[in-house]
Amino acid sequence: MRNIFRLGIAFLLWVGLHSAASAVVRIDVDLSTQTMNVAADNGERFEWPISSGRPGYATPRGTFRPRAMYVMVHSAKYNNAPMPHSIFFYGQYAIHGTEAVGSLGHVASHGCIRIAPENAAMLFSLVSREGARITVEGSPPGNFDIASAHHSHHGGVAFATAEHRHHGATALGYAPRQHTRTLKQWAADPLAR
């Protein structure tokens, strides 16, 4: 009887650990509608407007995992623009907050996926705790082809590689700022260095 009890406890622990390890935030980006749907394992669900790559700038399509996360980075290529709560998912492409909230819902970026700063902070927190699976699909409004994805499988998840289609430009270059500021500091004075 003790062995059955121990076996039952071991099974419950294994199931609990397996469930915790497989919990991920599902981030589904629809380039056609310029929206992001977020589903957390804890039941939270959100739909937010985004801005993806404008004509001439590729937003990679495919399925990705976060590669790096920074509370604050600044664009080394685009006038040191702030990118609060960045979740890098493919090379130098990230989901991040933006000052240009009036452009959300429309293509406007150099290839990254922009969201409102408060949504970026919430998403960053969720992904920090649970990890994420990011799926980017669809074609942006205006019927321009921004990237083609070639899939390879790694651990059961397809990762996409994207071709840049913006006139031979190099990959977007972002560099973490030496002394990062908090979102609260950034919100109080977004242009401060």
Q: What is the pLDDT along the chain (193 residues), one digit of tens a residue?
A: 666 656 556 555 555 554 445 679 999 999 999 999 999 988 999 999 999 999 999 899 999 999 999 999 998 888 888 999 999 999 999 999 999 999 999 999 999 999 999 999 999 999 999 999 999 999 998 744 434 333 333 333 333 333 333 333 334 444 444 456 666 666 676 666 5
The model's pTM: 0.66
Q: Is 167 left (phi over 0), alpha (psi -120 to 50) or beta?
A: left
Residues 59, 75: Cα–Cα separation, whole Å: 16
CATH architecture classification, 24-187:
Beta Barrel (2.40)
Q: Where are the domains of the chain?
A: 24-187
